[in-house]
């Protein structure tokens, strides 16, 4: 088990969001932009009533965004 408890979260969406939140905290300590938009990722896990692990593909209109998912 990881010390931060992320690996023990039940759903992939929760793990994905927890990892991004942890990364944002680390970026704050490095004076880097720490605001992210999960919709800028190439894929993410769906938010549904039953919290299933459905993958949602981002159409990436205009190509992948530099610095994704961080808002610069």
Q: Which residue in 17, 15, 18, 35 sits closest to 27, CA to CA?
A: 35
The DSSP letter of residue 58 is: -
Please give the pLDDT value at position 72: 79
Asked whether residue 66 is domain-assigned, the answer is no
Q: Evaluate if residue 1 carries a pLDDT over 70.
A: no
Asked whether residue 49 is domain-assigned, the answer is yes
- Mean pLDDT, residues 1-17: 87
pLDDT digit string (tens) for 18-37?
999 999 999 999 999 999 99
Please give the pLDDT value at position 51: 59
At residue 34, what are phi and psi to the nearest 5 degrees?
-120, 15
The better pLDDT of the pair 47, 28 is held by: 28
C-alpha–C-alpha distance, residues 56 and 25, integer Å: 25
List the domain range (segments joined by +) for residue 42: 6-57
Helices (H), 1-72: 12-29
How many distinct structural domains can be found in the chain?
1
């Amino acid at each position: 088990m990881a010390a931060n408890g992320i690996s023990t979260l039940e759903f992939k969406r929760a793990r994905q969001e927890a990892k991004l939140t942890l990364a944002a905290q680390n970026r704050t300590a490095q004076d880097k932009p720490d605001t992210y938009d999960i919709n800028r990722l190439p894929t993410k896990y769906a938010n549904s009533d039953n919290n299933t692990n459905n993958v949602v593909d981002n159409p990436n209109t205009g190509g992948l965004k530099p610095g994704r998912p961080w808002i610069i």
